[in-house]
Amino acid sequence: MSKRKPRIRLLARSVAVILLAALTWECHNDLVVIAPYQDVPVVYCILNPNDSTHYVRVEKSFLGEASALDMARETDSIYYPDGEVFIERWLNGNRMESYQLERRVASARDSGIFTHDPNILYVFNAPLQTNSEYRIQVSIPSTGASVSGSTQVVSQFRVTKPESYKQTFAFSSYENYQTVEWITAPYTRIYQLQIRFHYLEVMNRDTIEKSQLWNIGHFTTVDGSGGERIATNILHRRFYQWLGNKLSPATEGMVRLATRKALDFVFTVGGEELFMFMEVNKPESGPPREKPAYTNLVGGLGLFSSRFKLEIKGKGLTYHSIDSLASGMYTNTLGFANSRDDYYIRGF
């Protein structure tokens, strides 16, 4: 998720307002098209209970007389010279913990419109409690600005299919379906499901472990109360079509092998605020139109939310599925060995 979009949208909105004023205002020689400078804090933080180190980005939107592209490359155009950031954990109306974040220069981020070096972040280290509310407070002493917000950290949920006791997962007959099913956790609104496929490439006695990630889809809950059952049915044919499009045909002498623990099921879960942010910013068909800026912060723009990742690892493919990899119409050029290969029979 790009964290620059709100800034770009704000700049575009400022330009649109200026153009509209130029078209509708009476023609005067003393027309002023740049309003008095006023910056707005932009804060982003996505808490993840899987992590022990957490980051907050504090920047500012801007409007000035110079080129927006030139200003975006100036450090003082997007960073404040100072800032104080606190994150607190609350439970049942009581403040349980408080963290003052350290201002730190991180490794340079990807280059783009905005300056990428230095990359200034605010950092704290702590395990997150999934049954708690977290509040953020940002103050900018040099301007007197103050930004606040809160989120409930999303918690672990229960996957019911594939069942934990089953060691294998079948993609057999093309027209059959496999069901993946889970029970949602409180405060979660959006779920992304991916399947990671692990395989080996063997060439002249050299073996390389590789993997590919298959995006199954996004799923949303009715509300954030939890306990909702979500299921998706995956057509077996889709697995082989995806892999056939993903991998290039095997070169001469190459053999590919699905590992004995070939499949991981990867769930990424987002809270209410992240869901709303994605809804507002998702691509739309039809003519482009200005979208409302989403923020759940008071005194500034941005996003304070949480996400969670759960992986069900190490499901093996059935022998029937391995044979379909080797000789099926979508994958028979990829060089996969069938289930009678020594790798599977002898357990090398």
CA dist., res. 169 & res. 263, Å (int): 8
Domain contains 279: no
Continuous H helices in 120-264:
236-246
Answer whether residue 99 shows pLDDT above 60.
yes
Q: pLDDT confidence of 167, banded at 50, 70, 90?
A: very high
Residues 318 and 184 in one domain: yes
pLDDT value of position 62: 54
End of a domain among 138, 153, 168? 153
pTM above 0.85, yes or no: no
pLDDT of residue 26 exceeding 60, the answer is no
Q: Of 136, 153, 170, which residue is a domain's last?
A: 153
Burial of 324 per CB tally in 10 Å (0-12, 13-18, 19+): buried
Q: Which of these three, 113, 135, 153, is where a domain ends? A: 153
Whether the pLDDT of residue 107 is over 80: the answer is: no
User: Does residue 288 lie within any of the structural domains?
Assistant: no
- Using the 8-state DSSP alphabet, how is residue 336 labeled? B
| Sheet of 145-152, strands arranged across | 94-100, 84-91, 133-140, 145-152
278 within some domain: no
The model's confidence at residue 163, banded by pLDDT at 50, 70 and 90, is: very high
Q: What percent of the chain has pLDDT over 90?
A: 69
Domain count, the chain: 2
- Is residue 263 a part of any domain in this protein? yes
Whether 301 maps to a domain, the answer reads no
Pair (211, 139) in one structural domain: no
Same domain, 198 and 237: yes
Reply yes or no on whether the pLDDT at 11 is more than 50. no
Same domain? 54 vs 167: no
More confident residue, 346 or 165: 165
170 and 318 inside one domain: yes
Residues 169 and 134 in one domain: no
What are the DSSP E strand ranges found in the chain? Answer: 40-47, 53-61, 84-91, 94-100, 102-106, 119-125, 133-140, 145-152, 158-161, 168-169, 177-183, 188-203, 206-220, 229-235, 255-271, 301-317
Look at residue 270 in the predicted model and tell me its pLDDT. 94
Range scoring the smallest mean pLDDT among 8-12, 107-111, 197-201, 226-230 = 8-12
Task: Say if residue 145 is in the same domain as residue 188.
Answer: no
Question: Which pLDDT value is given to residue 259?
Answer: 97
pLDDT at 9 over 90: no
Instruction: Band the pLDDT of 166: cuts 50, 70, 90.
Output: very high
Residue 320 lies in a domain: yes
DSSP 143: T
- Are 107 and 164 in the same domain? no
Task: Give percent of the chain above pLDDT 70.
Answer: 80
Q: pLDDT higher for 205 or 250?
A: 250
How does the average pLDDT of the chain come out, rounded?
83
Q: Which domain holds residue 335?
A: 158-270+309-345
Is residue 291 one of the residues assigned to a domain? Answer: no
Specify the pLDDT at position 315: 97
